[in-house]
Amino acid sequence: MAFSTVLYKLKGLYKFGKPAPRLRGKVFVNKMGAIQVGKNLSIVGHPWAVQITSTKGANLTFGDNVYVNAGVGIAANKEILIGDNVKIGPRTSIFDSNYHRLDSSDKGELRKSITIGNNVWIGADCTILPGVTIGDNSVIAAKSTVNKNIPNNVLAGGSPAKVIRELKIEDGWVRE
């Protein structure tokens, strides 16, 4: 399917920044809620398709200069905010809902907002779980499961993810 055909099919569904997003390969979008996109969104759906979902009443926001790699799944049931200059590695899953309760005594909220700060790099095969915030300039190591907040300027990794070390980030530096 040609890029112009994809944009035609998406016309009116999104608030696009300028220039238009770059979509390559298979990108499936299920939009029942809001999806807002900043400038220079780039999504690569090859060799694995990317699936982006925003359910009824949910809000999914992509900042400027966001790169989403192949095989990524993002599902907003409440709210997912992805900051500027964020890079999301292949086969990463970002879900703001548990979708079901563990047992009859589980009375907690199933949906919890996720915030990914500016200049964040999420490595391959990561899982970002409901209710977490990943701080600005942080890096999440490959194969990590983030189930608790990650502060600014750190390398975190593991399952569950823990801070490995602090990062030295100069003001204004943007990860390429």
100 carries an active-site annotation: yes
CB of 66 closer than 8 Å to CB of 89: no
Out of 18, 56, 100, 168, the active site residue is 100
Give, in order, the Cα–Cα distances in Å from 166 to each of 135, 139, 150, 162.
Answer: 12, 10, 11, 11
Quote the tokens at residue 109.
Answer: 């909220």
| Alpha-carbon dihedral angle through residues 41, 128, 13, 33, given to the nearest 10 degrees | -160
Would you say the C-alpha torsion 9, 70, 80, 82 has a positive or negative sign?
negative
List, by residue number, the catalytic residues. Answer: 100
